[in-house]
Amino acid sequence: MNVLVIGASRGIGLELVRQHRAAHCRVVATARDEAGLARLAALGAVPLRLDVTDLAACAGFGWALDGEAFDTVWFVAGVLNGTQGEQDAPDAPTQGDFDAVMHTNVLAPMRLLPLAAQALKPGGRMALLSSKMGSIGQRSNGGSWLYRASKAAANSVLKDLSFAFAGKALCLSLHPGWVRTDMGGADADIDVATSVAGLCKVVAHARPEDHGGFFNYDGQPLAW
């Protein structure tokens, strides 16, 4: 199996690389600094440098994928907040924080998933790491509202891609659980190995009727 992981320097992305390599898959994976690239190379992945917010780098990334044929593409890169930290409604984010979070979590998948789709095998799978915090239907408070808005928008992006790629790629939006990574923190519910094992199962077992859906790492469908 041939897999692409976008945003793999640490956390869930790095564990996706680790588990796919342990299963003898070929993995192309991205990081934006030397240390991240070295971690990917050490796992036997093909490392590509990419800052997902850098327009020129994204264009170059498209060229770097020329000739590739992936079974699955994972978009994992994401940020929780900008320089002001997490802010709750109704404290408006600064322009800089808004741009940083929206560029990474929304604009980057809008740019990069269409490029990656050109390097997918027919009928391949496209997985976007979203978050239950983006669900409007399940919302019970107004905390971290910039992150929530970005993941709600990311879900919208995935849904629209599912129409654009119908019959070509099976598209899924995924919640990884509350995971013990730099983003999730030490008090989170599950370890990264459990989350990624579940996510891989969800993607591997997804059926045609799951196309364009939003799923928890344990396979449960989630309300938008």
Ligand X SMILES: NC(=O)c1ccc[n+]([C@@H]2O[C@H](COP(=O)([O-])OP(=O)(O)OC[C@H]3O[C@@H](n4cnc5c(N)ncnc54)[C@H](OP(=O)(O)O)[C@@H]3O)[C@@H](O)[C@H]2O)c1
| Chain residues in the site for ligand X (CB under 6 A) | 7, 9-13, 32-33, 36, 50-53, 76-79, 104, 129, 131, 175-176, 178-179, 181-184, 188
d(CA 196, CA 219): 12
* Cα 43 to chain centroid, rounded: 20
Q: Report the nearest approach of ligand X to the CB of residue 86 (Å).
A: 12
What is the b/e burial string over 4-32, where b = at least 16 CB atoms within 10 angstroms of the residue's CB? bbbbbbbbbbbbbbbbbbeeebbbbbbbb
Query: Residue 30 or 162: which CB sits closer to ligand X?
Result: 30
- Angle 80-84-88 (CA atoms, 0-180°, nearest 5)? 70
Q: What is the torsional sign of CA 50, 84, 86, 213? A: negative
Query: Residue 24 or 57: which CB sits closer to ligand X?
Result: 57
Q: Report the nearest approach of ligand X to the CB of residue 69 (Å).
A: 23
Q: Report the nearest approach of ligand X to the CB of residue 167 (Å).
A: 27
Query: Residue 86 or 209: which CB sits closer to ligand X?
Result: 86
* Contact call for residues 161 and 179 (beta carbons, < 8 A): no
d(CA 159, CA 19): 27
Q: Report the nearest approach of ligand X to the CB of residue 214 (Å).
A: 12
Query: Residue 59 or 69: which CB sits closer to ligand X?
Result: 59
